[in-house]
Structure 1
Amino acid sequence: MEVANICQKLDEAAIKYFEILEELTERKKRLQDGLREGFFSLSKARYSMGSRSVGSLQYNTTNMKALASVEVSDECGSCTFFHQRREPTKKTAKQKQAGSDKDRNAEVQSTESQVRRRKAEENGPEESELEERIQELSIEEVTIQDPLKWFGILVPAALRQGQNAFIEAVEQCVEIATLQNKLMATQLEYQELMKTKMELNDKTENVDDTEEGETNVGRTG
């Protein structure tokens, strides 16, 4: 690899580095603005609804289900993060009739125990009916409630604005993580190119010194 080619790659890596750095700075600013707006909207909602109406007493952490998830891909040599968000689901008629998820799980366990007893008694028709009921309970969708409904049905606009701001902040966090990995990968690429360039320069200098020495010996002779 010629030195001129390496110098060109070094220039490209430097330009790429600063482009990523500029985008990263912009993303961090958006994150800061989003968090500021989110907390400000949350404080406005607490002021209008009352400090005790918006807090940890309004939800149960044991029954929480995440609406946002992050997937990691390592195809391009550096980790890339992808943000995915599920929409809140509504309870079906079967789920409303069955009750909470805890009751549904208890029903599944009870039905499984009945299947085991029926298998021991070798009752074919009852086995198939109970197994079908297990499959029916297993494929029912798990409901994911909108977090806004933890605080009531009719919530102030400030609380909804705060939710939107925090959703945007989560997306910015994922983008920031991806950009930071790209920035580190570009920096490592630049360092490797510099190392290669220095090695080539050293070899070129050694060759020049050898040729100059041979020329001086020839003149002396």
Structure 2
Amino acid sequence: MSENIDTICLTMLELVAEIHQKKLEQEKHMQEGYLCLAKARYSMGVDRVSSLQYPSEIEPTVTISCREKENNKFPSFTVIQNLQDEENKPPTSAVRRRKKTNKDDHDEAKQAVEEVDLSSQDKLHEQVNPLLWFGVLVPTPLRQAQNCFRQATEVSCQLCTLKEELNYKTCLYKERMKPTETKE
């Protein structure tokens, strides 16, 4: 019996309070995101920000990971970002030789064909920022809405982890409250 009933009860109450705070924070991010989305629709026009701009096949930009840590008895949820920002991409330019010979031209042609093949394969697997579905120059409220919804997703993962911890503590509490059966 590593934890007594009193500490389990206090931990459960603290978890309930923290869950309440996270729900309020999630609600705030969602409201702010929808408000920014409405501002973007107002500035761009109703037809420019709608479901008609979505591609036929959408790939997720984030993934939720559920892992059970070694020291915990409950799963932990985390957000994994799948989308690579344009700023974080490595530069694709290469160093080129200025003086050319006939042999260099032949080698360069082979290399160019290989680069085209590789770049076309990369473009198939490359994810596009969903903001680009609505044009190249999107208004600031649309970017703010995207950030608000990302923050709401992260808070949702934290909320799920807290709920799982509360469920674990509740089971532990019920287990400790069971009357011990004594043999008579």
TM-score w.r.t. structure 2 length?
0.74
| Gaps in structure 2 of 5+ consecutive residues | 93-113
Partner AA of 1:199 in structure 2: T
Aligned-residue Cα RMSD (Å) equals 2.9
The 5 Å alignment of 1:1-221 reads 9-62=4-57, 64-75=58-69, 76-89=72-85, 136=118, 140=122, 142-195=125-178, 198-199=179-180, 203=182
SS at match of 2:23: helix
Cα distance in 1, alignment partners of residues 26 and 156 from structure 2: 7
- Higher relative CO (Cα under 8 Å, sequence separation at least 6) belongs to 2
Percent identity over the alignment is 30
Say if 2:33 and 2:146, in contact at 8 Å, map to a contact too.
Answer: yes
Alpha-carbon shift at residue 54 of structure 1 (Å): 0.1
- 2:83 and 2:118 mapped to 1: Cα distance? 23
**What residue number does 1:124 align with?**
none
CA displacement 1:114-152 (0-9 Å, x = unmatched) = xxxxxxxxxxxxxxxxxx99x957973721111111111
Q: What is the CA–CA distance in structure 2 between the aligned matches of 1:154 and 1:52, rounded to whole Å?
A: 16
- Seen in structure 2, the aligned counterparts of structure 1 residues 156 and 138 have a Cα distance that, compared at 3 Å, is closer
Q: What is the rounded CA distance, in whole Å, between the counterparts of 1:74 and 1:56 in structure 2?
A: 37
Q: Aligned letter for 2:180?
A: E
Paired residue type of 1:42: L
Structure 1: tracts of 5 or more residues without a match: 94-131, 208-221
1:110 matched residue in structure 2: none
How many pairs does the alignment contain? 157
Partner Cα separation in structure 2 for residue 188 and residue 157 of structure 1: 47
- Whether the 8 Å contact between 2:34 and 2:145 is mirrored in structure 1 is yes
Distance 2:163 2:40 in 1: 34
Higher Cα Rg, which structure:
1
Could you tell me whether the CA contact under 8 Å between 1:89 and 1:145 is conserved in 2?
A: no
**1:136–1:154 distance in 2 versus 1, CA, 3 Å:** closer
The answer for the alignment partner of 2:107 in structure 1 is none
Q: Which SS does the other structure have where 1:73 is aligned?
A: strand
Per-residue CA deviations over 1:146-181 (Å, capped at 9, x if unaligned) read 111111111111111111110101111111111111
Structure 1 length-normalised TM: 0.62
Which residue identity is paired with 1:83?
Answer: V
